[in-house]
Amino acid sequence: MMNTRQTISDRHLELEGISRRFGNVQALDGVSLAVERGAVVCLVGHSGCGKSSLLRIIAGIDWPDGGRVLLDGREISGPAGHVEPEDRNIGFMFQDYALFPHLNVTDNILFGLKRVGRRAARERCDEIIGRLGLNRLATRFPHMLSGGEQQRVALARALAPQPEIMLMDEPFSNLDRELRNDIRTETIELLQELGTTVIMVTHDPEEALSAGDMVVLMRGGRIIQSGAGAELYERPSCPYAAEFFCSFNKVRTACRSGYAETPLGRFAAPGFADGAQATVYIRPQCLRVNGDGHGVECTVVDCALIGEIEQMHIAVAALAEPLRIRSTDRSRLRKGDTAHVSVSPEQVLVF
What is the per-residue pLDDT across 199-226, written as a single tens digit (0 to 9) for each? 999 999 999 999 989 999 999 999 999 9
Per-residue pLDDT band at 3 (split at 50, 70, 90): very low
pLDDT attached to residue 5: 36
Radius of gyration from C-alpha coordinates of the chain: 25
pLDDT digits (tens, 9 = 90+) for 38-61: 999 999 999 999 999 999 999 999
Residue 170 has pLDDT above 70, yes or no: yes
pLDDT attached to residue 333: 86
pLDDT attached to residue 95: 81
Mean pLDDT of the chain: 91
Residue with the larger pLDDT of the pair 32 and 174: 32
pLDDT digits (tens, 9 = 90+) for 87-146: 999 999 888 888 999 999 999 999 889 888 889 999 999 999 998 999 999 999 999 999
136-170 residues labelled b (16+ CB within 10 A) or e (exposed): ebbeebbeebeebbbbbbbbbbbbbbebbbbbbbb
Q: Which residues contact 51 (CB under 8 A, 6 or more apart)?
A: 43, 44, 45, 201, 203, 218
| Residue 253 neighbours by CB distance under 10 Å | 20
Residue 7 has pLDDT above 70, yes or no: no
Residue 169 has pLDDT above 80, yes or no: yes
pLDDT attached to residue 181: 87
> Do residues 258 and 272 touch, judged by C-beta distance below 8 A?
yes
pLDDT attached to residue 6: 39
3-class SS at 44?
strand
pLDDT digits (tens, 9 = 90+) for 284-336: 999 999 877 789 999 999 999 888 899 999 999 999 999 999 998 888 888 99
Least-confidence region, from 22-26, 228-232, 332-336? 332-336
pLDDT attached to residue 9: 52
pLDDT attached to residue 267: 94
pLDDT attached to residue 336: 93
pLDDT digits (tens, 9 = 90+) for 238-257: 999 999 999 999 999 999 99
Residues in the chain, total? 351
CA–CA dist 296, 333 (Å, integer): 16
Residues pairing with 103 in the sheet: none
Ordered structural domains, the chain, with CATH: 4-89+163-244 (3.40.50.300), 247-350 (no CATH)
CA–CA dist 17, 68 (Å, integer): 7
Residue 49: alpha-carbon gap to chain centroid? 13
